[in-house]
Structure 1
Amino acid sequence: MSIWTPLESNPEVLTKYIHKLGVSPSWSVIDVIGLDDELLAMLPMPVKALVLLFPISQKYEEFCAEEKKRIMAGAEPEKHPEDLFYMRQFTHNACGTVALIHSVANNKDIDIADGVLKSFLDNGLALSPEERGHALEKDKAFTEDHQKLALEGQTDAAAYEKVIHHFIALVNKEDTLYELDGRKSYPVSHGKTSAETFVRDAAKVCKEFMARDPDELRFTVLALAATEA
């Protein structure tokens, strides 16, 4: 397994990153300062994804084990849209990049110029989630772009031998709210949503993560949203 320098949850750095990857300047990564309705209403619309950064604790791992049992015990395998772009994460510390890929790839109205990201997505269309994860691991251009931006944060990310925080993306795909986490073997459906309710619905999922670990304060929520003029 290859190892990348971890990205920090710095909106300016992450915005510069997605623009370098070819995402239109019409979109930016911004902080979500609160999950109450009145604070969510202040976000520039439309919001295309929420990205949650959270600590991987023992409580979270126990929840994931129970979640997997529940999903696997279903009478029928869960069905997802054929064009839901989901990938596994096999590159250590690449969760920030994977979350951003999930956020952008599952919103077809986000323009992506020719470059590293567009090539990766085009080449990955016919691949399995596992194959996409291995493709990222072998992608030298993606690795170089990630490493350059990871070193522009406000903290010395390279100094941390073990990163316990993890990024995931929450997106609206065909009016279903999906949790996309490269550490898991599958996308997780959180039920129905809509363009009008997505931000509130996704915020509710973020609150559920926090409620499962009430003594933990190290949660950060970001949004992929329209760039403010």
Structure 2
Amino acid sequence: MAEAAGHRDVDVPKTKKAFVPLENNPEVMTHLVHQLGLSSNLAFHDVYSLTEPSLLSFLPRPALALLLVFPVTNTYEKFRQQEDSSREEYSGSGAGERVVWFKQTIRNACGLIGLLHAVCNGASRQQIQEGSDLQKLLKDAIPLKPGDRAEMLYQSQALESAHADAAKKGDSAAPDAEANVDLHFVAFVKSEEGDLWELDGRRKGPLNRGKLGPEDDVLSEKGQELGVQAFLRREEEAGGGELRFSVVMLGPSLE
């Protein structure tokens, strides 16, 4: 499903910088991460069903990360605020950090933040090419606290240039950078230690959703139960209806 995605910028600090929202399109996303320096061995793929075995069987595995795109509902906002109210602001940094998390301060950049979360964590991190912009960005980000890390992204010309190039691609006309688009990206990533992380630059920090076994990836039954299905079930039950959403996964390239 290809549609432009951003968000309403609730609780994202108002800044002078705004990006054109990325289209929720695996080709666009793959182009962007390859341009930044992820190996061509990995690519993004549409997930047409989370439950139909015949459709899941076509996807190359393992699924290293999922990007869920959904409308920002009142139900989601209420849950997010309630869950975050008892949490401290994340302050992790350094080589011992369990997961690399990026705080979002650029308007309409939730797609970009989701992509960075997907490629800078878990097994995909080992597929970042030496000497690339992505490797430099990650190397520079790791020792920084979240505020300084967000400022580094804000100031990155390489990131802004690659994003602008990718935003021109896709199947639909891109909205203006200042547009209020009420769709949002959340990433689910399996770390190399086996933890399933929900990563969202609008939250107070990374969310550990549970432990996965060596045989599990983020699209496995357990991976979905702890991650994307738990998220969708909560939204559907509270909202009283089916949630409009789409999912793409990061996994082996088919080329």
User: Do Structure 1 and Structure 2 share a fold, with TM-score over 0.5?
Assistant: yes
1:101-140 CA distance string (max 9 Å, x none): 1111113322324222111111111001222111111111
Do the aligned partners of residues 212 and 63 (structure 1) sit closer, same or farther apart at CA in structure 2, a change above 3 Å counting?
same
1:90 aligned to 91, 100, 105, which one?
105
1:163-217 CA distance string (max 9 Å, x none): 1111111111211110010101111111111342222234232223222333354
Maintained 8 Å contact 2:120/2:138: yes
Structure 1 SS opposite 2:23: coil
Residue 161 in structure 1 maps to residue 179 in structure 2: yes
The answer for the alignment partner of 1:50 in structure 2 is 66
The answer for the alignment partner of 1:99 in structure 2 is 114
Q: Which runs of 5+ in 1 are unaligned?
A: none
Do the aligned partners of residues 162 and 216 (structure 1) sit closer, same or farther apart at CA in structure 2, a change above 3 Å counting?
farther
1:76-115 CA distance string (max 9 Å, x none): x9x9962411110100111111111111111332232422
**Between Structure 1 and Structure 2, how many residues are aligned?**
225
More displaced 10-residue stretch of structure 1: 198-207 or 119-128:
198-207
CA distance in 2, matches of 1:88, 1:222: 21
CA distance in 2, matches of 1:210, 1:216: 9
- Normalised to the residue count of structure 1, the TM-score between the two structures is 0.89
Maintained 8 Å contact 1:172/1:194: no
Maintained 8 Å contact 1:10/1:153: yes
1:127 aligned to 130, 134, 144, which one?
144
Amino acid corresponding to residue 211 of structure 2 in structure 1: K
1:116 aligned to 133, 146, 153, which one?
133
Residue 203 in structure 1 maps to residue 221 in structure 2: no
**Runs of 4+ more than 3 Å apart:** 39-42, 69-72
More displaced 10-residue stretch of structure 1: 41-50 or 142-151:
41-50
Maintained 8 Å contact 1:172/1:195: no
CA distance in 1, matches of 2:223, 2:172: 28
- Aligned-residue sequence identity (percent) comes to 33
Shift in Å, 1:37: 6.2
CA distance in 1, matches of 2:56, 2:213: 15
Residue 178 in structure 1 maps to residue 178 in structure 2: no
More displaced 10-residue stretch of structure 1: 96-105 or 203-212:
203-212
The answer for the alignment partner of 1:33 in structure 2 is 48
CA distance in 2, matches of 1:212, 1:116: 38
Amino acid corresponding to residue 114 of structure 2 in structure 1: A
Shift in Å, 1:42: 3.2
Q: Which runs of 5+ in 2 are unaligned?
A: 1-14
CA distance in 2, matches of 1:106, 1:62: 28
* Within-5 A mapping of 1:12-31: 12-31=27-46
Maintained 8 Å contact 1:170/1:202: no
The answer for the alignment partner of 2:156 in structure 1 is 139
Structure 1 SS opposite 2:32: helix
- Normalised to the residue count of structure 2, the TM-score between the two structures is 0.81
Structure 2 SS opposite 1:148: helix
CA distance in 2, matches of 1:11, 1:123: 27
Structure 2 SS opposite 1:132: helix
CA distance in 2, matches of 1:102, 1:118: 13
More displaced 10-residue stretch of structure 1: 194-203 or 88-97:
194-203
